[in-house]
Structure 1
Amino acid sequence: MTATLFVADAVHGHVGARGVVVRENRITAVVGDRELRRVGTTVGEVIELGGHVYPGFTDAHSHPSLGAGLQRGVDLSDVDDLAALRSVLSDAVREIPPGEWLLGWGLSYGLWDDDQPTSAVLRGLGRPVALQLFDCHALLLDEEAVRVAGVERMPAFGSGAHAVRDERGAFTGLVVEEEAMDHVRLAIPPEHPASRTDRLGRVLAAMAASGLTGLHVMDALGDSAEQYDELERTGRLPLRLKLHRWYTPALAAAGVDPVDPPPGRGRLWHHHGVKLFLDGTVDNGTAWLSSPDLRGESTGSTWGDPVEYARVVQRLAAAGVPTATHAIGDAAILWAADTIARAHAAHPAVRHRIEHLEVTSPAAVAAVGRSGAVASVQPTHCTRFVAADGSDNWSRRLGDRRSHGWRLRSLAASGTVLALGSDFPIAPFEPLGILADAVSRRCTARGGEAVSPLEALGADEAVLAYTVGAALAAGVEHDEGTIAPGRLADLSVFDGDLSAATPEQLLTRRAVATVVDGEFRRS
């Protein structure tokens, strides 16, 4: 098969280089300006990229299938008070056919000030209503949805999942954590599979157009693998995907083996590892903190006995299966770090990672640094959902501990490898905006005061976390993360240098093109 020469203004990591030669799906050479003419006569095709070529940008934590599914409903992420919420929902209910549920996503806890969300604002809409809170760890239901979903008959879960009751014992409408939300979802009429797959294809196409070449997918649930397979079969899969299937206490109790992967893989997607949850979120009071939050909540693990979680990680490590552990609170992070340190000591070839690391005390920073775990962090969680003045729900719950949030600089200084991502659909997936916020520690697009600015990264460090860091997180650094002969031909092309850019400059850059598995796509 003939080779292709991609010509750019600059090649990241190679001073003076302007060309990358690709044969099939591998890089065979990186060439300088003087060699371009000679090499151009030996290849089958020359493609002028322009811009700066980087190793393929990989979002290290994303939920594309979940995100595509949520977009079936109303986007509530810009709603900033209860009156506006009522207005948006009243308009939306007139647009949906009779008998359908009114669905929404991106709802902020902050609309209720110091109180937990309640369903009072949802009364009288004439439909069952189910709104996803922005963190995707809670649903808000109206009275009709509570009735139709049989919330009164919901079984007890050992993972902290439950329907919230007020001081009189009445349901507030808030349902938290996965098993409880799944109970409700069973009552929502399903969407046609073809419609869901088409929407997923559009989401992935938009991700590729933003400069991404790969995703670490953290929701290999239901028929999502079949959706990816269908998209690849029909030429609509533009990204390299590593799927992580969930393993929960409920699956453990049911005797499900965590080791055996589901069947199936494609050229660009495969089942890669296992995702586990040690806790929930600070915002809904289900994180695992070393001491309770200021409402007396966030006191325990998703696992009734976290020792069982440690046993599962050891079993997976022994089988050569990498793990990704959701750990938000400092107690959860400490437990994950200790577990991973033990697993790494016994099976050093297997890569393990901790996701989110929102409340990272000094002890937790040090423990993660010693553990060998990769820290998979989402900078825009800090800049989009937390206020510098501490007025947001997350900060009000934590008090002084809010200074321990998203400690990128401290984690890097401890020797921890960082991988960055979006957690889409919780936050937008565009990598340039995430890079900008990692450097500025504020929502760069909106301005405002920085949150814990001493924890900022340099632009070069943020780029490294999107490339080399993501490859290390997946244990594929010999194939991905750098531009070198023998590496997979995954490239992201932007219209200027990112590594020395200011946050404001990063927002003005744009993706020019991507190359995924040797295939060129113009953004």
Structure 2
Amino acid sequence: MNTVLYRGGTVRAEGAAPATAMLVDGSVIAWVGRDDVAPAADTVVDLAGALVTPAFVDAHVHCTATGLALDGLDLSTAGTLAEALRLLETQVRKDRGAAVLGHGWDETRWPEGRPPTRQEVDRASYGGVVYLSRIDSHSAVVSSALLAAVPGARGLPGFDESGWLRQAAHHAVRRVARETLSAGQRAVAQRTTRRRAAELGIGCLHEMGGPDISGAEDLRALLTLASEEPGPEIIAYWGALGGIDAARGLGAVGAAGDLFVDGSIGSHTASVHRPYVDKDTCGERYLERAATAKHIVACLESGLQAGFHAIGDAAIGFLVNECYADAALAMGERWPSRTRHRMEHAEMVDDQLIARMAELGIVASVQPAFDAAWGGRSGMYARRLGVERALTMNPLAAMQAAGVVLALGSDSPVTPLDPWGTVRAAVHHRTPGAGITAEQAFAAHTTGGWRAAGRTGEGALAPGAPATFAVWAGDAIAAGATLPALEPHGEPPACLRTVVRGVPIHDLEGALG
């Protein structure tokens, strides 16, 4: 078995002062220490001052949708509604009449203050099939041609003749929109995502599949691709209520993830106790108490993780104070003390909810970039909920202090794959006092991701651990430091190499010889 010695840099080693060298033997780390006592190896890599860290884990992604946004119509760059429509028309011409699946519009950033109408989409697409998801992926504007393919959508909750669809109407149309993708197009998108993640030092992606958001064939194809081609490891979740057998059959570790209790703040569908300030609604709750508690019990009895998407305070309270309480009562002494449940997003939590999450062992799978994009006194959250509530959102420091395990992610394509940016956003929270330290944030984006999937003992550079790591250019890192400076607007270090279980999955040309 080939051994590789990395030497002449800084190694962020587990439980020790920074080392300068690391020996990899096949798929595991065999030794960590100083250059002057390094063992012999078949291959020696001169780090030339580079930093070696555990690879990142993005704990919440959508691989196909991310790849489509990277390769196709990304409306997050549009500064106006008019520009978004021009980008759509350009994409339609480029695709020569094929269905267009675009993503990323955000009407709160546009001077027009509204999304495109169905009629505007029809004109820009010359009557084509178009699906344009909002930046949060919880609503979409669709064309008349796509709507005609889903005649039942008009009778579903969340339908609007303007073409801006939410709730069940959105889910129904999204299912049909994704069926326009060929197997080849899907594979290209998934490869694009894995390649981009590898370039950023990400060694593992938690894929949030489900019947409403992506479909079983999408998840099955992704896992097959990941088993056949080098790239970041994929840990799969299947977000379907009662979907125990389906999750097992697909190879998912949990009937969890994007199992929606509610929607999003931006689409006015997150379930909140007090109405939104810019719309007379308290959002939506999609699940019922008895069925949700039954699902939790079924997951635990089958050895799968349970978990849910919950953003609003009413949704989170419903979960932890009602559903989990009922499940614990039903199981009695059989309630496992060490099983890691998951909650995706968990944005509106107070001290009582945080304490309950810690007591139940619920991992908070959080996205600090949400706060960076929409938090603070003047962001979208403040416009939707008012400043008072907005400033209480995403309290990372309080969750960390209470013992809630944090796992950081992007929810890409909602926010981009950007691990150092995610760590930076967790540190420089837009609400003073709500951020965590760089050390805590880095741990949450590495070991936290493995812990969220029930994988202890991974995410650290120590003898016997999997050789999953990233090598970073040392010119952006202070001598001897094991993390970059992470200033609010600083550039992240370049990733020179990413390795997963001993296999390089990314190499910056010419960087390491």
- Confirm or deny a common fold (TM above 0.5): yes
Matched, 1:472 2:451: yes
Which of the numbers 196, 218, 225 marks the counterpart of 2:208? 218
Distance of 1:18 and 1:396 partners within structure 2: 49
Matched, 1:203 2:196: no
Which of the numbers 419, 423, 448 marks the counterpart of 2:407? 419
Counterpart residue identity of residue 121, structure 2: L
Distance of 1:189 and 1:464 partners within structure 2: 38
Verify the 8 A CA contact 1:436 1:506 in the aligned structure 2: no
Which of the numbers 100, 103, 106 marks the counterpart of 1:105? 103
Identity %: 25
The SS at the match of 2:452 is helix
Distance of 1:505 and 1:83 partners within structure 2: 29
Residue 502 of structure 1 is matched in structure 2 by 486
Displacement of 1:509 in angstroms is 1.5
Displacement of 1:68 in angstroms is 2.1
Counterpart residue identity of residue 419, structure 1: A
The SS at the match of 2:400 is helix
Deviation by residue 1:234-293 (Cα, 9 ceiling, x = unmatched): 53x311111001214xxx5xxxx52453446xxxxx522122221111111211112322
Displacement of 1:499 in angstroms is 3.3
Displacement of 1:172 in angstroms is 2.1
Residue 433 of structure 1 is matched in structure 2 by 421
Which of the numbers 235, 242, 247 marks the counterpart of 1:261? 247
Counterpart residue identity of residue 103, structure 1: L
Distance of 2:164 and 2:9 partners within structure 1: 53
Matches within 5 A, 1:54-133: 54-71=53-70, 73-98=72-97, 100-110=98-108, 111=110, 118-119=117-118, 121-125=120-124, 126-128=126-128, 129-133=130-134
Residue 4 of structure 1 is matched in structure 2 by 4
Matched, 1:247 2:235: no
Verify the 8 A CA contact 1:436 1:502 in the aligned structure 2: yes
TM-score by length of 1: 0.84
Counterpart residue identity of residue 522, structure 1: D
Which of the numbers 483, 502, 511 marks the counterpart of 1:518? 502
Displacement of 1:181 in angstroms is 2.9
* TM-align CA RMSD: 2.7
Verify the 8 A CA contact 1:355 1:375 in the aligned structure 2: yes
Displacement of 1:464 in angstroms is 0.9
Residue 489 of structure 1 is matched in structure 2 by 467
Matches within 5 A, 1:75-474: 75-98=74-97, 100-110=98-108, 111=110, 118-119=117-118, 121-125=120-124, 126-128=126-128, 129-150=130-151, 154=154, 156=156, 162-164=158-160, 171-177=161-167, 180-186=170-176, 190-219=180-209, 221-232=215-226, 234-235=228-229, 237-248=230-241, 252=242, 257-259=243-245, 261-263=247-249, 271-275=252-256, 276-294=259-277, 295-303=279-287, 305-338=288-321, 339-340=323-324, 343=328, 346-386=335-375, 388-390=376-378, 392=380, 394-399=381-386, 400-441=388-429, 451-474=430-453
Verify the 8 A CA contact 2:132 2:141 in the aligned structure 1: yes
Residue 444 of structure 1 is matched in structure 2 by none
Residue 511 of structure 2 is matched in structure 1 by none
Deviation by residue 1:58-105 (Cα, 9 ceiling, x = unmatched): 11111112322455641110112222223333333333313x334321
Counterpart residue identity of residue 490, structure 1: T
Displacement of 1:174 in angstroms is 1.4
Distance of 2:90 and 2:378 partners within structure 1: 33
The SS at the match of 1:223 is helix
Verify the 8 A CA contact 1:408 1:456 in the aligned structure 2: yes
Displacement of 1:296 in angstroms is 2.6
Aligned residues: 481
Counterpart residue identity of residue 202, structure 1: T
Counterpart residue identity of residue 190, structure 1: T
Distance of 1:463 and 1:107 partners within structure 2: 30
Verify the 8 A CA contact 2:307 2:342 in the aligned structure 1: yes
The SS at the match of 1:453 is coil
Distance of 1:216 and 1:431 partners within structure 2: 14
Distance of 1:188 and 1:472 partners within structure 2: 32
Distance of 2:280 and 2:488 partners within structure 1: 40
Counterpart residue identity of residue 450, structure 2: A
Distance of 2:253 and 2:132 partners within structure 1: 31
Structure 1 residues 115, 2: CA separation in 2 closer, same or farther (over 3 Å shift)?
A: closer
Deviation by residue 1:319-360 (Cα, 9 ceiling, x = unmatched): 211123111001222233344575597012321111111222
Distance of 1:432 and 1:483 partners within structure 2: 18
Verify the 8 A CA contact 1:22 1:518 in the aligned structure 2: yes
Counterpart residue identity of residue 464, structure 1: A
Verify the 8 A CA contact 1:422 1:434 in the aligned structure 2: yes
Deviation by residue 1:366-399 (Cα, 9 ceiling, x = unmatched): 332333211111011111234x34253x322211
Q: Which consecutive unaligned segments of at least 5 residues does structure 2 have?
A: 509-513
Structure 1 residues 178, 382: CA separation in 2 closer, same or farther (over 3 Å shift)?
A: farther
Deviation by residue 1:42-64 (Cα, 9 ceiling, x = unmatched): x3222334422112211111111
Displacement of 1:132 in angstroms is 0.9
Deviation by residue 1:385-443 (Cα, 9 ceiling, x = unmatched): 34x34253x322211211121111111122211111111111110211111222223xx
Structure 1 residues 391, 477: CA separation in 2 closer, same or farther (over 3 Å shift)?
A: closer
Distance of 1:426 and 1:187 partners within structure 2: 18
The SS at the match of 1:429 is coil
Displacement of 1:469 in angstroms is 1.3
Displacement of 1:468 in angstroms is 1.9
Distance of 1:283 and 1:470 partners within structure 2: 26
Verify the 8 A CA contact 2:471 2:497 in the aligned structure 1: yes
* Structure 1 stretch displaced more, 485-494 or 177-186: 177-186
The SS at the match of 1:396 is helix
Counterpart residue identity of residue 92, structure 1: Q
Structure 1 residues 522, 101: CA separation in 2 closer, same or farther (over 3 Å shift)?
A: closer
Which of the numbers 46, 49, 52 marks the counterpart of 1:48? 46
Distance of 1:188 and 1:197 partners within structure 2: 13
Distance of 1:149 and 1:475 partners within structure 2: 40
The SS at the match of 1:464 is helix
Displacement of 1:200 in angstroms is 1.4
